[in-house]
């Protein structure tokens, strides 16, 4: 080969390597490790992605895909004349999925480059925190409350505890608290524990609460959560939502729509909450719909987020973890311009049929990169925004079994003398009214008789329907909405063939018209809900199918609507083979099937089963009533066990002390010598100690602050503990 030619080829090869597009993750400002970032810093501001070798002057899109394959927001920028760009990206939430994320950049000409980002936990989150009860009712929270336990604290270090309500409003427990000599810390608090700035009472807001445990004057901390349930949740009375009047005006949601059907609301509204429950959207279980929302931003420098809370299981609680959709966000909109946010929402296959509450909560974020996504659907918020409630009418899910779940009242028990536990028995009976076989349906509702298609004589009309994944249905009836009276019918079922009827499954030449109920009138004639019963049930597995109908009678038509719910309508003229699609229209009908409902199951979520030994103190027991994978009811009760001393314990040491509550002098006596007396505050810090060897003693506690203390009295080889109240 010619040497000059070889040199030229090598030069071009090397140039192609050096000019290939690539990206660099510049995390140097917040991390000493390259391509690594702590989850908090990733959310609070993120980092720049630097690119080179991209198409000059083109638009580049950069996004992150988490370890579960979930793609977050697209960040865009402009490539300069040298093929370089810098685009700042950030995480969706303050808590990211930790591990290897894939960051990808793509320009307008299709040039792409990837890099791996490691998202790690905060290195200062070293304190391990836990609570005695992860779930309790509002009444229990304000009665006996929560016992917090924390470990891995420096011995005897001062500890600060902050409580955050479901709305992320926070307050610190007042007083000074310390870890013990082993670095452990315990405190009991309830809804009436004084905090600052809340005061003497915490807000009575149901939902998920967060606790921060911090080592004073260090950056070390730990977190844990607990959930407060409403005392009597009901779909007839959801907890209210409001905002605090802090001088920041509410900014309204101006339009909410699902799959093109939507409603506008007042762009000048100053109300934080608007009841729009008379606006109903008909949805099908197992299907995915496109949600589109418009709203007014108060500021230009930060987005508003849109969170959906949906009570899929009709238990009266809107903010369970599987009922929150945190996806929508919008920048710089007047609420009446062309800007909108849109995202998909999937109706669970086990959603309860019927009217379902959906709450749309709009909140202002702090900056362009650190977005605020609320987890509480009730109570109050400080942010600018608005909340609206709408109604979803779900079909094709599971019928409400109408269960009556009997929950026991709180139980009080005593240990056996000298024991540490008490065996507690309880029962959880339930009775469901709709068990056994009944009729269910996949429903495609109408739009006020908007239109219709001829479905008699030589016209056969077919509409598609979907059986959710994992389901096998026994179809027994087809119920179309027809215009004009019918005298007979031919019904056929087909497999789907790329969006139109395909292979014939079954043809019924003379099914029974069970009933024709008049439901309205149109310019084409009277509208009927016509129930066509099949000669035998047709069993179909999950997938998309077509049902075709040819009616007997003059000018009989099938009602259709323009708002798409499941696909397009198809029809044929005569031979039943050559189908022509009627684009943009759906049929109005219902596919009825036999629903053989399983027996609901009672599942223990927290606490102990009946018949076992419960420890001294409070144990909150939580059971869910689960039906086809959906939690339809929850039972919460408390078991309180008091310790009863044994006879030998009582005879060995009969310690008495008075007065209690005490103001200054406490008198203590015992039948044996008292060795030492120690008094501790509720954080475990020793506040008084005295050694003595006598049966009777008087101790001066006048210097102690008012509150509750633990007094330990040592006698012989035994130490007894007592609760002491200082006035």
Model pLDDT for residues 691-710, shown as the tens digit of each residue: 888 888 888 998 888 888 88
Torsion of CA 160, 217, 165, 383, to 10 degrees: 160
- 484 and 349 together in one domain: no
Q: Write the CB contacts of 372 (distance below 8 Å, at least 6 apart in sequence).
A: 168, 305, 363, 364, 365, 366, 383
Q: Give the pLDDT confidence of 141-190 residue by residue, as tens digits.
A: 999 999 999 999 999 999 999 999 998 889 999 999 999 999 999 999 99
Q: Which of 491, 468, 443 is nearest to 592 (CA)?
A: 443
- 478 and 554 together in one domain: yes
How does strand 488-496 pair with strand 501-508?
Answer: antiparallel
Residue 530 located in a structural domain: yes
Residue 6 located in a structural domain: no
Distance CA 246, CA 269 (A): 17
- 458 and 586 together in one domain: yes
Q: Is 156 helix (H, G, I), strand (E, B) or coil?
A: coil
Side-chain half-sphere of 595: how many Cα atoms within 13 Å? Answer: 21
Distance CA 725, CA 659 (A): 9
Alpha helices in 572-681 (DSSP H): 647-652
pLDDT band at 574 (very low <50, low <70, confident <90, very high): low
Distance CA 491, CA 476 (A): 12
Q: pLDDT value at position 39?
A: 94
Burial label for 377, CB within 10 Å (0-12, 13-18, 19+), is buried
Q: What is the CATH number of the domain that holds 318?
A: 2.60.40.10
Terminal C-alpha separation, the chain: 102
The residue out of 229, 255, 283 marking a domain boundary is 229
512 in Cβ contact with 489 (< 8 Å):
no
Distance CA 585, CA 307 (A): 31
Distance CA 417, CA 135 (A): 31
pLDDT band at 722 (very low <50, low <70, confident <90, very high): confident
Q: Which of 640, 637, 639, 625 is nearest to 229 (CA)?
A: 637
* Structural domain boundaries, residue 63: 20-120
350 in Cβ contact with 471 (< 8 Å):
no
Which of 334-343, 373-382, 397-406 is predicted most confidently?
334-343
- 587 and 470 together in one domain: yes
Residue 235 located in a structural domain: no
458 in Cβ contact with 490 (< 8 Å):
no
Q: Give the pLDDT confidence of 620-637 residue by residue, as tens digits.
A: 999 999 988 889 899 999
Residue 567 has pLDDT above 60, yes or no: no
Residue 3 has pLDDT above 60, yes or no: no
Distance CA 204, CA 376 (A): 12
Q: Which of 679, 672, 670 is nearest to 711 (CA)?
A: 679
Distance CA 325, CA 116 (A): 27
Q: pLDDT value at position 17?
A: 43
pLDDT band at 439 (very low <50, low <70, confident <90, very high): low
- 95 and 58 together in one domain: yes
Torsion of CA 505, 509, 515, 518, to 10 degrees: 90
Q: Is 652 helix (H, G, I), strand (E, B) or coil?
A: helix
Query: In this structure, what are the phi and psi dihedrals at residue 143, rounded to the nearest 5 degrees?
Result: -95, -80
Residue 581 has pLDDT above 90, yes or no: no
Q: pLDDT value at position 565?
A: 53
Residue 278 located in a structural domain: yes
Residue by residue, DSSP assigns 330-350 as E-S-BSSSS--EEEEEE--TT
Q: What is the CATH number of the domain that holds 568?
A: 2.60.120
- 586 and 549 together in one domain: yes
Alpha helices in 19-94 (DSSP H): 39-44
- 85 and 163 together in one domain: no
Side-chain half-sphere of 448: how many Cα atoms within 13 Å? Answer: 0
Q: Give the pLDDT confidence of 259-275 residue by residue, as tens digits.
A: 999 999 999 999 999 99
- 633 and 654 together in one domain: no
Q: pLDDT value at position 438?
A: 55
Q: pLDDT value at position 16?
A: 44
Residue by residue, DSSP assigns 4-18 as HHHHHHHHHHHHHHH
Q: Is 323 helix (H, G, I), strand (E, B) or coil?
A: helix
For 322, which DSSP code? Answer: G
pLDDT band at 654 (very low <50, low <70, confident <90, very high): low
pLDDT band at 648 (very low <50, low <70, confident <90, very high): very low
653 in Cβ contact with 720 (< 8 Å):
yes
- 347 and 417 together in one domain: no
**Length of the chain, please?**
727
Q: pLDDT value at position 671?
A: 65
- 285 and 340 together in one domain: yes
Distance CA 107, CA 96 (A): 26
Q: Of the ranges 217-226, 491-500, 502-511, 676-685, which one carries the lowest mean pLDDT score?
A: 676-685
Split into its structural domains, the chain has a count of 6
Q: What is the CATH number of the domain that holds 428?
A: 2.60.40
Torsion of CA 27, 31, 33, 39, to 10 degrees: -80
Q: Give the pLDDT confidence of 512-545 residue by residue, as tens digits.
A: 999 999 999 998 899 999 999 999 999 999 999 9
**Whose structure tokens read 């509208």?**
527
Distance CA 300, CA 289 (A): 29
Q: Which helix H or strand E contains 3, and what residues bound it?
A: helix 3-18
Q: pLDDT value at position 198?
A: 94
The residue out of 90, 120, 150 marking a domain boundary is 120
How does strand 112-120 pair with strand 128-131?
Answer: unpaired
Residue 446 located in a structural domain: yes
Q: pLDDT value at position 649?
A: 45
Q: Is 84 helix (H, G, I), strand (E, B) or coil?
A: coil
Distance CA 64, CA 66 (A): 6
- 461 and 577 together in one domain: yes
Distance CA 492, CA 508 (A): 6
C-alpha separations of 347 from 309, 311, 341, 375, 468 in Å: 12, 11, 19, 19, 11
578 in Cβ contact with 509 (< 8 Å):
no
Q: Write the CB contacts of 714 (distance below 8 Å, at least 6 apart in sequence).
A: 674, 675, 676, 677, 678
Q: pLDDT value at position 10?
A: 45
Query: In this structure, what are the phi and psi dihedrals at residue 404, rounded to the nearest 5 degrees?
Result: -105, 105
Q: Give 36 or 449, the one with higher predicted confidence.
A: 36
Residue 563 has pLDDT above 80, yes or no: no
Q: pLDDT value at position 503?
A: 93
Q: What is the CATH number of the domain that holds 115?
A: 2.60.40.2550
Q: Which pair of structure tokens corresponds to residue 322?
A: 């599987």
Q: What is the CATH number of the domain that holds 699?
A: 2.60.40.3080
Q: pLDDT value at position 50?
A: 98
Q: Give the pLDDT confidence of 663-685 residue by residue, as tens digits.
A: 889 888 876 788 888 888 877 78
Q: pLDDT value at position 566?
A: 54
Residue 497 located in a structural domain: yes
Q: How large is the average pLDDT for residues 601-611?
A: 92
Residue 646 has pLDDT above 70, yes or no: no
Residue 320 located in a structural domain: yes
- 214 and 329 together in one domain: no
Q: pLDDT value at position 695?
A: 83
Residue 290 has pLDDT above 90, yes or no: yes
The residue out of 582, 608, 642 marking a domain boundary is 642
**Whose structure tokens read 């409580």?**
163
Q: How large is the average pLDDT for residues 429-439?
A: 68
Q: pLDDT value at position 14?
A: 44
Residue 5 located in a structural domain: no
């Amino acid at each position: 080969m010619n040497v000059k030619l070889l040199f030229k080829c090598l030069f071009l090869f090397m140039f192609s390597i050096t000019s290939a597009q690539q990206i660099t993750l510049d995390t140097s400002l917040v991390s000493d490790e390259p391509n690594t970032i702590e989850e908090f810093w990733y959310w609070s501001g993120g980092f720049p992605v630097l690119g080179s070798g991209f198409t000059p002057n083109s638009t580049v899109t950069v996004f992150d895909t988490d370890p579960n394959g979930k793609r977050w927001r697209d960040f865009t920028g402009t490539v300069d004349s040298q093929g370089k760009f810098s685009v700042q990206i950030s995480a969706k939430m303050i808590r990211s999925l930790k591990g290897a994320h894939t960051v990808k950049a793509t320009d307008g000409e299709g040039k792409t480059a990837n890099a791996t980002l490691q998202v790690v936990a905060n290195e200062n989150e070293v304190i391990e925190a836990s609570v005695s009860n992860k779930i309790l009712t509002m009444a229990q929270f304000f009665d006996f409350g929560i016992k917090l336990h924390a470990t891995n604290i420096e011995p005897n270090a001062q500890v600060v505890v902050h409580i955050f309500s479901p709305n992320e409003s926070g307050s610190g427990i007042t007083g000074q608290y310390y870890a013990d000599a082993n670095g452990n810390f315990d405190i009991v608090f309830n809804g009436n524990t004084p905090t600052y700035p809340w005061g003497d009472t915490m807000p009575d807001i149901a939902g998920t609460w967060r606790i921060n445990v911090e080592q004073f004057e260090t950056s070390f901390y730990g977190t844990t959560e607990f959930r407060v349930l409403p005392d009597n949740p009901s779909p007839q009375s959801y907890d209210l939502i409001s905002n605090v009047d802090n001088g920041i005006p509410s900014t309204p949601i101006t339009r909410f729509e699902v799959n093109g059907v939507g409603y506008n609301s007042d762009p000048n509204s100053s109300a934080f909450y608007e009841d729009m429950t008379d606006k109903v959207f008909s949805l099908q279980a197992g299907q995915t719909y496109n949600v589109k929302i418009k709203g007014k931003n108060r500021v230009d420098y930060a987005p508003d987020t849109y969170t959906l809370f949906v009570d899929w299981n009709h238990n009266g609680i809107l903010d369970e973890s599987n009922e929150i959709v945190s996806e929508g966000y919008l920048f710089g909109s007047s609420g009446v311009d062309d800007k909108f946010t849109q995202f998909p929402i999937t109706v669970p296959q086990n959603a309860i049929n019927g009217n379902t509450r959906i709450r749309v909560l709009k909140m202002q974020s702090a900056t362009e990169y650190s977005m605020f996504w609320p987890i509480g659907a009730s109570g109050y918020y400080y942010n600018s925004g608005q909340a609206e409630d709408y109604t979803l009418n779900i079909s094709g899910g599971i019928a409400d079994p109408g269960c009556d779940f009997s929950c026991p009242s709180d139980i009080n028990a005593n240990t056996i003398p000298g024991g540490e536990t008490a065996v507690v028995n309880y029962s959880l009976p339930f009775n469901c009214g709709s068990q056994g076989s009944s009729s269910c349906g996949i429903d495609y509702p109408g739009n006020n008789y908007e239109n219709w298609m001829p479905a008699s004589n030589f016209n056969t009309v077919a509409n598609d329907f979907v059986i959710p994944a994992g389901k096998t249905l026994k179809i027994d009836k087809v119920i179309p909405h027809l215009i004009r009276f019918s005298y007979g019918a031919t019904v056929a079922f087909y497999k789907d063939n790329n969006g139109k009827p395909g292979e014939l499954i079954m043809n019924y030449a003379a099914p029974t018209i069970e009933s024709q109920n008049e439901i309205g009138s149109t310019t084409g004639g009277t509208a009927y809900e016509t129930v066509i019963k099949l000669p035998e049930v047709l069993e179909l597995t999950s997938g998309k199918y077509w049902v075709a109908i040819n009616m007997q009678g003059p000018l009989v038509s099938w009602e259709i609507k323009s708002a798409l719910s499941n696909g397009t309508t198809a029809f044929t003229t005569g031979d039943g083979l050559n189908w022509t699609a009627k684009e943009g229209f759906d049929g109005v009908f219902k596919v009825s099937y036999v629903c053989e409902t399983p027996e609901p199951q009672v599942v223990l979520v927290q606490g102990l089963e009946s018949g076992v030994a419960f420890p001294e103190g409070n144990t909150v027991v939580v059971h869910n009533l689960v039906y086809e994978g959906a939690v339809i009811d929850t039972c919460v009760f408390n078991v309180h066990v008091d310790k009863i001393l044994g006879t030998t314990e009582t005879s060995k040491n009969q310690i008495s002390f008075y007065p209690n509550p005490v103001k200054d002098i406490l008198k203590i006596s015992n039948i044996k010598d008292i060795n030492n007396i120690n008094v501790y505050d509720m954080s475990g810090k020793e506040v008084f100690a005295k050694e003595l060897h006598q049966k009777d003693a008087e101790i001066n506690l006048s210097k102690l602050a008012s509150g509750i203390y633990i007094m330990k009295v040592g006698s012989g080889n035994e130490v007894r503990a007592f609760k002491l109240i200082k006035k």
